[in-house]
Amino acid sequence: MKPYEEYQPTEYDWLPKIPKHWSKRSIRTLTKLSDKRNGNREDLELLSVYREYGVIRKASRDDNHNVESLDLSNYKYVGKDYLVMNKMKMWQGSLGVSSYEGIVSPAYIVCHFSIDANYKYFQFLLRSTTFKTQYNRISYGIRVGQWDMRYNDFKNINLYIPPRPEQDQIVKFLDFKISKINKFIKDKKREIELLKEQKQAEINRAVTKGLCSNVTMINSGIDWIGEIPMHWAVRRLRTFCDFVNRGSTPAYTEEKLTKVVNQATFSKGYWDLKNVRYSTADVENNRGLIFHNDILLASTGGGVLGKSYLFKENDSYIADSHVTIIRDSKRRFIPEFLYYYLSVSYDLINGILSQGSTNQIELQRNWLRSMFFPYPDINEQKDIALFLMNFENTINTIIQSIEIEIVKIQEYKTSLISEVVTGKVDVRDVKIDEVFEQETLDETEIEEEVAEE
């Protein structure tokens, strides 16, 4: 890749120059606004626009909680290669050229192209970070989160477009590079998953079998525990723990007074301050008061119940009634050891210690108190906990380094797309791998990539 030989200035401060042979065209000369409605068709599926991906099938993701109307007859028709925009989120770059035929919310702006072009080039161009600057400037509202963009402003944006053969080469080049980058990211994410599996397996082995491989093992008599070292005991939680209780039901407030921990604060495996709420409750003598080294257990809801966290924060918090607090005033167990055991027992807790309907299941504390645990002596618990903390830190450090690699390559991908589609670099003479030229990325593969991200 190299710069073009000659450039011409543009009218935009965010796009100082473009190749001299590229043509200037306003969006209104390239597209026509479409207001075609769904009518009575039932074969068209619902589409959605994501700032991260463009236009995708709404059913391909489970994180879109917008509720569609029962009557879809007024929804707008979208054909393949139509341009679709969420006018309320254009400032975030929420637009894309559709690969599908379908329908979208009546609130969306829908256009079809009126010229012969490589429409995927416009997908890359209009979704590039460069153009988000302009979308911000033509979006209005009282608050940023409520900004709106009018089509009359959008259609007056001028684009600088290469000839059709160059569009094709740019798309071919970017498809090739992005495919390589996405494969790299996919491999790195798989590497992270394998490291997490290795971490869980090592934790499970250490808390049920100990650190020594040459000790005599015996059947614990408990199905979910299996064999344990002969010198270990199996004990019910209530025999070595005197506090297994829910938090309180605080009176919430918007003022930043007493900090309240809920399941969302820790159930993702880290302390999420964005999900801390506030209450008017007094911290002192509150039954939900959390102490250092308390074990917190999410206690309601499918998919969350059974998630655990070892409290190490320095500030004062109380837990709400959906969180169970585990501690022992007599210090008969090492908190880290018990936490590690609970961290690999999510399926067990979620499966046999809960009761209720699918979304309303609750942890049964009496069942938890009666649950059997492998129980080495305190010194061995301490050794196992120390080993696992060091092991976990090592694995987490490796994972963090891989995550940094992923962030950097994603930033490179974003920058590369922007530079190529706006003519900062010339890819006309770049030879694309012949094998790749013969391959096509079908819609199923695209959706799989989107779902994995």
Quick check: helix, strand or coil at residue 18?
strand
In the block, residue with structure tokens 């626009």: 49
What confidence score (pLDDT) does residue 453 get?
46
Q: How confident is the model at residue 66 (pLDDT cuts 50, 70, 90)?
A: low
Q: Of 391, 439, 449, 430, whose CA–CA distance to 200 is shortest?
A: 391
Judgement on whether residues 141 and 257 belong to the same structural domain of the protein:
no
Number of structural domains, the chain? Answer: 2
Last residue in a domain, options 127, 144, 161: 161
Is there a contact between 168 and 107 (Cβ–Cβ < 8 Å)? Answer: no
Determine whether 304 is exposed, middle or buried from the number of CB atoms within 10 Å of its CB (0-12, 13-18, 19+): middle
Residue 434 has pLDDT above 60, yes or no: no
For residue 108, give its domain range.
24-161
In the block, residue with structure tokens 């670099």: 425
Determine the straight-line distance between the first and last CA of the chain, rounded to whole angstroms. Answer: 29
In the block, residue with structure tokens 């050229």: 97
**86 found inside a domain:** yes
**51 found inside a domain:** yes
What confidence score (pLDDT) does residue 145 get?
67
What confidence score (pLDDT) does residue 435 get?
47
Residue 449 has pLDDT above 60, yes or no: no
Last residue in a domain, options 346, 375, 404: 375
Judgement on whether residues 153 and 266 belong to the same structural domain of the protein:
no
**388 found inside a domain:** no
What confidence score (pLDDT) does residue 406 get?
96
**333 found inside a domain:** yes
**95 found inside a domain:** yes
**173 found inside a domain:** no
**218 found inside a domain:** no
Kindly state the helix (H) or strand (E) to which residue 181 belongs, with its residue range.
Answer: helix 164-209
Judgement on whether residues 239 and 154 belong to the same structural domain of the protein:
no
Judgement on whether residues 120 and 247 belong to the same structural domain of the protein:
no
Q: How confident is the model at residue 73 (pLDDT cuts 50, 70, 90)?
A: confident
Last residue in a domain, options 146, 161, 176: 161
pLDDT tens-digit series, residues 238-275: 999 999 999 998 888 888 889 999 999 999 989 999 99
pLDDT tens-digit series, residues 279-294: 988 888 788 999 999 9
Quick check: helix, strand or coil at residue 334?
coil
Judgement on whether residues 267 and 349 belong to the same structural domain of the protein:
yes
Residue 119 has pLDDT above 50, yes or no: yes
Residue 164 has pLDDT above 80, yes or no: yes
Please name the residues in contact with 377: beta carbons below 8 A apart, sequence gap of 6 or more.
none
Judgement on whether residues 275 and 370 belong to the same structural domain of the protein:
yes
Whichever domain contains 237, its CATH number is 3.90.220.20
Determine whether 95 is exposed, middle or buried from the number of CB atoms within 10 Å of its CB (0-12, 13-18, 19+): buried
**57 found inside a domain:** yes
Q: Which comes out higher in pLDDT, residue 229 or 256?
A: 229
Judgement on whether residues 272 and 359 belong to the same structural domain of the protein:
yes
